[in-house]
Amino acid sequence: MKTFQGRVVAPGTVTAEALVSHGGLNTLASFQKALQFGDKNATCGDQNNPDLYGKQMAGKALCLPQTIGSTTGGLVLYCACAMGRQPACMLFSQPIDSLAGAGVILADIWLKDAKMPVIDSLGEEFLQYAQTGMTIEIKENGTVVVG
């Protein structure tokens, strides 16, 4: 078990199973099936992300370096939250990019029942240590426990 300290982008506490990506998350490609075709499990549709492709993202502790892709990224994350198809939390090894940050913050402010805690700046060691299937616990102050 190992503890990491990051910066709180969207507050909250949660315990969930880790889903780890070592490459950037293309939000539109990843969530397109969930948003357009009703996939409640939010099965990742990004064929360019071998860590996530075909895996369920909804309800998971999504561990990643950053998001990539078009300017729709923030809106895609907001919509996933609004539709209840969001990860349990998002944990960034790097500082969150502005597009993802905008979507996450708007979801946190505007949506009552679709919270998704987000912590960034956890460092490269976090992404090297965390493995898909491990249990992740997030605390209110940005502490992330991986075990």
Helix (H) or strand (E) holding 144: strand 143-146
**113-141: pLDDT as tens digits:** 888 999 999 999 999 999 999 999 999 99
Taking CA atoms, 95 is separated from 1, 36, 44, 64, 143, in Å, by: 23, 29, 23, 11, 15
CB 56 within 8 A of CB 43: yes
- Give the separation between CA 14 and CA 57, rounded to whole angstroms: 15
**67-115: pLDDT as tens digits:** 998 889 999 999 999 999 999 999 999 999 999 999 999 999 999 888 8
